[in-house]
Amino acid sequence: MSAASAEIHSLLLDLWQDLQSVKILWQVGVVVACALIGHLISSRFNRRVAETPSLDVTQALGIGSLQRLMFPLSTLVLLFCGRGLLGLWQKTPLLDVAVTLLLAMALIRMTIYALRHTFAPSDWLRASERWLSWLAWLGVAIYLTGLWPPLREILDDLAFSTGKHKISLLLLLQVTTSVAVTLFLALWLGRVAENRLMGMTSLQVNVRVMFAKLSQVLLLLVAVLIALPAVGIDLTVLSVFGGMLGVGIGFGLQKIAANYISGFIILMDRSVSIGDMVTIGEHSGVLTRMTARYVVVRGLGGLEAIIPNETIITSTVINHTLTDRHVRVAVPVQVSYSADVELARRLMVEAGVAHPRALREPYPVALITGLAESGINLELGVWVGDPDQGLAALRSDLFAAIWQAFRAHGIEVPFPQREVRVVGAFPTPDAQ
């Protein structure tokens, strides 16, 4: 039995002896009083946070950590003070156990909070929070009761040999725990780095996304390199895996590798960025997301197209907002030959200027685009600076405003008319 475990075991024995005497009542009173005061401090802090205006990502992360740690930490400080005062007259095994349990509570709450900010909310995350909490409390209970040394020997005896290597249940447990902890820390640090990088508005969006993805990949690689040697696994076994991975990429994973490489090329050359109005093949819309494997283009109708990065590299991409986010919206209209064309053009320009999304520079312009069979073709050109808000509704508003103005001023919008003559279909009186 280790020295720490022996000390905890001795504290539990002292606690059992105190239960048979009145001394335990003083310790119970101190624990209850410290818990109540800690609860009051935590509740007051939470109310102050609720009254605080909106915070940025970094501040919200720090405040959230303090909210979950305020009760155990404040109670822990009070218990230290109470244990120091009460320890002048008697032993305090109950307070020592309470301190250990509060430390475990703080650790569990921080782990759960980090899980929530590392992974997206889902059913499996809520379920994992429950069993992770129970698993952590079970580990604390096993340690406090001094059962860990014999349990460790039992797990080490349950083993089998493969060649010169002995693989026990204890080794598998250590490997799983080590890899899980290091990967979790890597993912959490990657999420923190991503939040920090995405908040740096001085850098372009592509550069921020690229550095965020690179930091996550590097952190995961470092986590694996740390976790495996920590449990006695030689890193040379990774050379076999690397060779197999290279063969797999060469034969079956060509497209996946091409998409990942294309993703980093797109992020570096800045040909497209999040928020751009693009046309890729038959898909047009706003580029809303960029990952290492694909991009998401949200159409004006709300449909989202997932397009592999390789398609952007190997095909023509129309970026409507590459150098300028101003987009010209054309509204074609036809008037009759008897209409006042100059008046019609002026009304069209007034309709364009009156729309709140229309820019004043460049100014809306109405042009004569042709002399058609049924009337004169006109076109209103309006420039907008927010194409990601949709253009269909804008065209609809402009058509409605132009139609109302034409009706108010008596300007006719022609429609095709045909005069059909039938020759020789019926006999004439002379033929009879």
Tokens of 210: 């690229």
- Domain boundary among the residues 238, 260, 282 is at 260
Q: Is residue 251 part of a domain?
A: yes
Q: Is residue 217 part of a domain?
A: yes
Q: Distance between CA 344 and CA 333 in Å, rounded? A: 10
- Domain boundary among the residues 157, 192, 226 is at 157
Q: Is residue 105 part of a domain?
A: yes
Which amino acid, residue 174? Q
Residues 346 and 372 in one domain: yes
Residues 107 and 24 in one domain: yes
Structural domain boundaries enclosing 201 = 171-260
Residues 141 and 223 in one domain: no
pLDDT of residue 249: 56
Q: Is residue 421 part of a domain?
A: no
Residues 10 and 132 in one domain: yes
9 Cβ contact partners less than 8 Å away, ≥ 6 residues apart: 1, 145, 146
Domain of residue 349, CATH code: 3.30.70.100
Residues 334 and 314 in one domain: no
Residues 34 and 132 in one domain: yes
Q: Distance between CA 72 and CA 112 in Å, rounded? A: 15
Residues 201 and 120 in one domain: no
Residues 144 and 236 in one domain: no
Q: Is residue 429 part of a domain?
A: no
**Based on the structure, what is the number of domains in the chain?**
4
For 114, other C-beta atoms within 10 Å of its C-beta total: 19
- Domain boundary among the residues 260, 288, 311 is at 260
Residues 24 and 54 in one domain: yes
Residues 351 and 253 in one domain: no
Compute CA distances 295 → 185, 197, 283, 312, whole Å. Answer: 28, 20, 12, 9
pLDDT of residue 403: 92
pLDDT of residue 44: 82
Residues 30 and 115 in one domain: yes
Domain of residue 304, CATH code: 2.30.30.60
Q: Is residue 417 part of a domain?
A: no
Residues 21 and 108 in one domain: yes
Tokens of 387: 């194409």
The residues with which 289 forms a beta bridge, in sequence order, are 296
CA-based nearest residue to 286, from 298, 296, 294? 298
Q: Is residue 10 part of a domain?
A: yes
pLDDT of residue 380: 92
pLDDT of residue 129: 60
Mean pLDDT by 10 residues, the chain (432 residues): 60 59 71 84 77 58 62 81 80 76 74 64 60 71 71 77 71 78 78 75 70 78 75 62 61 71 79 83 84 82 84 84 78 90 91 88 89 88 80 85 90 76 62 50
CA angle 321, 278, 380 (to 5 degrees): 65
Q: Is residue 163 part of a domain?
A: no
pLDDT of residue 345: 92
